[in-house]
Chain A
Amino acid sequence: MEDNHTSHSPDESEDQKNSTRRNFLKNLGLAGVGVATGAAALYSGHIFEAKKEVSGDQKVLLTQDGKLVQVDSLEIKAMEKTGVALHEMEGREGIPGRRWVMVTDLSKCRNARKCISACQDAHQLRPEQYHMNTLQMQDTPGTAPYNMPKNCQHCDNPPCVAVCPVDATYKRQDGIVLIDNVRCIGCRFCMAACPYSARIFNWIEPKDAATHLDQEYNVELNVPQKVGTISKCLFSADRLREGKLPYCVEACPNGVYYFGDENEDAVTNGTTKETVRLSKLLRDNAGYQLMPELGTKPRVYFLPPKNRLFPFEAATETTPEKV
């Protein structure tokens, strides 16, 4: 497993820094979203320091308390926020303009469980802790059995978020439901409320906890895991931020997963890397959602297990040991 992409180390290349800065400015200028903590301070600084180089190019910014201010473009600097606070802020906002979706093609799943191990490695999970778990399903006695990889459905009307007393689990603008394990009080109300059994709990000290002691918490990866708090599938929010596909999607050898952006109406297959129209894929293959009657509005779609070219095999691997 390459582990580098998970750590946001201070020695990023100068290039990367600049590009973040540019993106940041662009976001501010275009959307005017109220995240510019620095803007107000800059504005007051601007008044007192009369003698200063000016470009004459005035930018209009929205301060955090909702005021519109004008600042010379030369004076705008990216906010100095690092570490947990930055993750926390970005992690709560989501990636602007995106609406992530996943499509799972059940006709291709052979229960290889590669998605599961990639996921468990990335999120420091024990063998019995699943963000993604492939279930052996049979809807009714007369119908064919099939494999169904099941993760958090990132519901648009998420019951887990509604019941959380402290806003430790929340819905972002890009559709992802995340967990903040620095906030979670471990009441497990969200587990009771989730109809898809998507959530897991750190009942004891997480895997290799001792070795991750001074790792900085990344809310988009939910590591290091913490005892007494919740975890679940995060749609690999950290990978999406880097423009990559989720861990499970890339790890599947059988082309089961498509992942992409609903706004662009495009999803990419993790195995073949082929990008297709989301609406067409769902229309042509009779895509459906899991238990839509519950009103949770999942962001994961399934394509029915039809025309399989391999026989269904009951799972043979042994179940994890008692914990």
Chain B
Amino acid sequence: MNMDDNKLTLEKITSDLTHHIRINKGFLIWMGFLTVSLLVCLYAYSIQLKTGLGVAGIRDYVTWGMYLANFVFFVAASLIGMLISAVLGLIGMKWLTPITRIAETIAVAFAAVAGLVIVSDMGRPERLAYVFLYGRPQSPILWDVTVITTYFVLSLLLLFLPLIADMAIIHRKADSLPSWLKPVYKVLSLNFTDNPAQNKIINRAIRILLILLIPAALSIHTVTSWLFAVTSRAGWDSTVFGPYFVSGAFVAGSAAVIIAMFFFRKNYKLQDYLTDLHFNNMGKVLATVSLVYLYFNFNEFLVPGYKLKRADAIHLQELFAGKDAILFWVVQIGGLILPILFMLFRRFRKPLPIMFISIAVLIAAWFKRYIIVVPTQEHPFLPIQHVPQNFIHYSPTLIETLISVAPFILVLIIITLISKFFPVIPLHETARERGIEHIKFD
């Protein structure tokens, strides 16, 4: 890190990190746009509520379509909170400080919305409570509900705890703040005065959370992968699905974090805090997790491809050279192999190029979920006969697409609100790292 930065005063840091906390025209337009789009999607959902799941393209054979791919994607993206804060944080990577809150925000937003995504896939959403009333512990759905809720709560706490100190600083020191916000921050600061006892409690709590977060996060995606792996269908019947999904999740999440970093840096003028170094390092993280994911991809396709059992052979044939081949290869090459190759070079880990690479990776990550979910169901063990054409090949409808877009809008709304009203970069921690030992509160 640049040594000159350390000379910054607390006032300068505070103003740098909080000057965006105000309601301006850009924010209103953006939120207005998101709200209107969300309303359109909600209208689509109201049609589904009235008519039934039949408004989507899913039918008796491909019974899980875009909605479920979406669900897997959202759970995947939420996993990044664990990788950045817990794994990398616990092994003491100092450069991560300005990125942790972004990662946690993304984790909270995606985890919260994942729960809603799965509701969009229910034939009887009004019976959601039955899962708690009549829940059967044998069903992986119940495990999924439990661990996602746990993970969401842990992530929310992990987002909030470091904010306490920040709130204490902000409501006293940030002059540019809208006056109606100050009392809110005061309440949220829970009377924090930066005394050693308080710091000790918070630090311990955060440490415990970080440790708990690791098994919780591993569980959510492992269990999500088991929704598929517990069946005997070709393409799902796999023992590496857990780690395959987890490593894939890190790829999607890292890409999401890099994209968010880029936009926050630009819009909130955080160039001094989110430097090229951070993008470079995040590029390395993304490259590493992508390599791990590539390794699992080899396992997932090479092993059944070598044996070519009947059902596997049909499935792989469709993926490699059949109906899904174009999508499959674009995703595997464009979303995994090429990005890895590019990211080996430092010049592609600069903010702008790495942001574009991340966008490609993230889009590919969504389609990868689609490829995992849909093609398997088009080739069940017994032939599909005497049914209408649209039962045989799945194609999503417009309504279904709109309903699938809604969760993305929700995530954007949540991320926008959190980042708009709280410092994107941990204030208290940054001040400490830059040599401001004890903050005086008067």
Which A residues are within 8 Å of any B CB, using their own CB? 128-130, 133-137, 150, 159, 162-167, 183-189, 191-193, 195-197, 199-205, 227-229, 291, 294, 315, 317, 319-323
- Asked if B342 is an interface residue, CB under 8 A from chain A, the answer is no
Q: A163-B140, A186-B124, A188-B64 are in contact. Are A135 and B231 (CB under 8 A)?
A: no
Contacts of B127 in A (CB 8 A): 166, 183-186
Closest CB of chain B to A195's CB: distance in Å? 5
Once the chains bind, are A159 and B123 in contact (CB under 8 Å)? no
Once the chains bind, are A186 and B122 in contact (CB under 8 Å)? yes
Once the chains bind, are B123 and A228 in contact (CB under 8 Å)? yes
Contacts of A202 in B (CB 8 A): 52, 123
**A interface, over-half SS:** loop
Task: Tally A-B pairs: CB < 8 A.
Answer: 150
Once the chains bind, are A186 and B53 in contact (CB under 8 Å)? yes
**B interface, over-half SS:** loop
Task: With CB as the reference atom, state the residue of chain B lying closest to A290.
Answer: B382
Q: List 26 A-B contacts (CB under 8 A).
A: A128-B388, A135-B383, A135-B385, A159-B230, A159-B232, A162-B230, A165-B135, A165-B136, A165-B141, A166-B127, A166-B133, A184-B123, A184-B127, A185-B122, A186-B123, A192-B231, A195-B381, A196-B382, A201-B59, A201-B123, A203-B53, A227-B52, A227-B123, A229-B123, A315-B386, A322-B388
CA of A164 to CA of B60, assembled, Å: 17
Q: How many of B's residues come within 8 Å of A, CB to CB? A: 46
Once the chains bind, are B121 and A320 in contact (CB under 8 Å)? no
CA of A192 to CA of B122, assembled, Å: 14
Once the chains bind, are B124 and A185 in contact (CB under 8 Å)? yes
Once the chains bind, are A193 and B141 in contact (CB under 8 Å)? no
Task: With CB as the reference atom, state the residue of chain B lying closest to A196.
Answer: B382
Once the chains bind, are A165 and B139 in contact (CB under 8 Å)? yes
Q: A133-B385, A163-B230, A189-B227 are in contact. Are A201 and B139 (CB under 8 A)?
A: no
Contacts of A199 in B (CB 8 A): 60
Q: A159-B231, A205-B52, A323-B388 are in contact. Are A196 and B381 (CB under 8 A)?
A: yes
Candidates A133, A203, A291; contact of B52 at CB < 8 Å? A203
Closest CB of chain A to B283's CB: distance in Å? 37
Once the chains bind, are B381 and A189 in contact (CB under 8 Å)? no
Q: A192-B377, A227-B52 are in contact. Are A187 and B136 (CB under 8 A)?
A: no
Contacts of B384 in A (CB 8 A): 197
Contacts of A150 in B (CB 8 A): 382
CA of A320 to CA of B388, assembled, Å: 5
